[in-house]
Amino acid sequence: MPIVRFFPKGAVTAVPPGTSLLEAAEAAGLAMETPCGGNGVCGKCLARVLTGPLTATQDRAPFVLVCQGVVGEDDLDLEIPEAGETSLQIHDESLDVPFTHAPRLSKRFLPDPGQTEVLADGKTLCLETGNRTSSLFGLAVDVGTTTLAVALVDLISGEERASAASLNRQTRYAQDVLGRVSFAAEPGGLAILQRDVLTDINSLIDGVCGQAGITGADVYEAVICGNTCMQHLAAGVDPANLGRRPYRPDFRGHAYLKAAEMGLRISPRGEVYFPAVLSGHIGADIVAGIMATGLLRRRRPTLFIDIGTNGEMALAEEGRLIAASTAAGPAFEGMNISCGMRAAAGAIEACRLDGDGRPALKTIAGASPQGICGSGLIDAVAALVVHNGIAPSGRFTPDGGAIARLLERVDGKIRIRLTPKVFLTQKDIRQVQLAKAAIRAGIDLLLRQARILPEQVDRVLIAGSFGYHLKERSLLDLGLLPEAFAGKTEFVGNTSKAGARIFLLDAASRDFAASLAEKAFCLDLADLPEFQDVFTASMAFPRVSRPAPEAAPAA
């Protein structure tokens, strides 16, 4: 078989002729960026061919898109650009909330046969040799559209023993939920998507078990939380109905599947619990977030928002719950942006402009700037709004104002250059505008439905790995949040994983969440006659008038 070598990493693999370069990269242990879903249009996986042809009939070319190239009969050496293969920064910490410690699983020692009985809901699940009552583990799994997180939980002590996170490799087929639904409809598509997400989860399971010095056989239960589409794909259920009205899910959760039948590497007798979903577009990750934040226990109006590819939100007041979902798109993940990238080394994660319009930047790992990720993008656009570099319409101001030094014209089009390698175009600003308008429209319509004014909202909880890296001031300056939310925002981390941990450790919480899913009112924003008008109004950037900050490194 031909050998493929990837430089400068030095990763090597041997694959059969006809294998795609993307598959070869994965076999070599590299996570390649393919923001366009492998369609060959974004150019972010461009690699230099050092030696060897790509196919038996194709002459050697200087460059190739990894998502499009195919391995030929001979060995092949490729040089991958610095930002092509990434090691993601994924924040998977979350709130530490009180809960009742009463897990579904338990153990008891049977002295006569000298065995340990593993019980689920008081019924025998399996037997172990010897006294193993001091060891009982479960997994809390957050299956996101972009990233995955797994925590190993000691069901006896309630402690999290290890955690790990990774990119969801399904992103190579499609960046968003609707793209996954479309891919699942292709021949073999559903099986591929389920295989890939389970492969990723199994890899994370191996990692957390290794950290704790146990094996997957010591784990008897996993709780998987994700949006409704991710729940379908992990369970192997066709998500086709999520792509057409009335968007009713075929898999509503609050269900147990056999781990062995799914192919999950835990105990052969282990089970996998999928919590209930609220609707076709509001999944178990939001239900988990509601549990993890104690949202229903808060007496004053509290808004919960998960900002990402899908902007899901829930508003609670004295036990009443209204939820909605809006399609923000992948811009906040750094995708569909000229110099966008995921949260990896070299990504600009924080940005502000001093009084003279000079950028003050912070990159992940302190590396030289290679691109800009979602949090940096929001900071940068918000700073441009504050410095009047962007008009409320979203257009660059003609003279640039205080940021004139950053303006340049290329091929007759204006763009903002933040570093020698990183710039923002008018199209990039438009992508941010569309994403922020979708979420702001959802917030405004949710409050309107509940007859609550923005100033009456007591707390705003921003969830998710991406949300943890955002700044309240940038969200306000961008107009994504109403100015009335100033001082009320709390960034609560990965509440999907935190909620999955609660489901592991408090069996009664599962029925409570299922009951909540039945009672919650889900607002279909697209069906509201005023949606288009509110969305259009939300497109405008606010006029911000306040002194510019002094020059200082971005925090």
- Say if residues 332 and 178 touch (Cβ distance below 8 Å): no
Q: What is the mean pLDDT of residues 128-156?
A: 94
Q: What is the mean pLDDT of residues 325-350?
A: 87
Residue percentage of the chain with pLDDT more than 90: 63
pLDDT tens readout for residues 22-58:
888 877 877 676 656 666 756 677 788 888 766 543 4
**Main-chain phi, psi angles of 73, to 5 degrees:** -85, -20
Q: What is the reported pLDDT for 58?
A: 45
The Cα 379–Cα 375 span in angstroms is 6
**β-sheet bridge partners, residue 310:** 327
Tracing tokens 């046969």 back to the chain, one arrives at 113
Contacts 24+ apart (CB under 8 A), 388-393: 389/357, 389/416, 390/429, 390/541, 391/541, 392/540, 392/541, 392/542, 392/543, 393/540, 393/541
Q: What is the mean pLDDT of residues 302-329?
A: 91
Q: What is the reported pLDDT for 343?
A: 82
* Residue 484 exposed, middle or buried by CB count within 10 Å (0-12, 13-18, 19+): middle
- Which secondary-structure segment (H or E) carries 159? none
Residue percentage of the chain with pLDDT more than 70: 90
The Cα 542–Cα 338 span in angstroms is 24
Whether the link from the prior residue into 8 is cis, omega within 30° of 0, is yes
pLDDT tens readout for residues 323-332:
999 988 888 8
- Which secondary-structure segment (H or E) carries 145? none
* E strands present in 289-328: 302-306, 310-317, 320-327
Residue 351 reports pLDDT greater than 90: yes
Structure tokens at 383: 């700073």
Query: Which letter does DSSP use for residue 308 in this model?
Result: S
- Say if residues 408 and 425 touch (Cβ distance below 8 Å): no
pLDDT tens readout for residues 495-545:
999 999 999 999 999 999 999 999 899 999 988 999 999 999 999 999 876
- Which domains are present in the chain? 3-79 (3.10.20.30), 105-283 (3.30.420.480), 287-328+434-538 (3.30.420.40), 330-432 (no CATH)
CA-to-CA dists, residue 316 to 140, 320, 470, angstroms: 25, 5, 23
Q: What is the reported pLDDT for 142?
A: 96
Q: What is the mean pLDDT of residues 300-316?
A: 92
315 three-class SS: strand
Residue 92 reports pLDDT greater than 60: no
Tracing tokens 């190579």 back to the chain, one arrives at 172
Q: Positive or negative CA dihedral for 434, 438, 441, 447? A: negative
Going by DSSP bridges, is the β-strand pair 310-317/423-425 parallel, antiparallel, or unpaired?
Answer: unpaired
Q: What is the reported pLDDT for 34?
A: 67
Any residues with CB less than 8 A from the CB of 413 and at least 6 apart, and which? 425, 426
Whether the link from the prior residue into 53 is cis, omega within 30° of 0, is no
Q: What is the reported pLDDT for 83?
A: 47
pTM of the model: 0.84
CA-to-CA dists, residue 257 to 200, 264, 275, angstroms: 18, 10, 12
The Cα 270–Cα 120 span in angstroms is 10
What is the total residue count of the chain? 555
DSSP string covering 259-286, please? HHHHT-SS-TT-EEEE---SSSSS-HHH
pLDDT tens readout for residues 432-446:
999 999 999 999 999
pLDDT tens readout for residues 266-295:
999 999 999 999 999 999 999 999 999 999
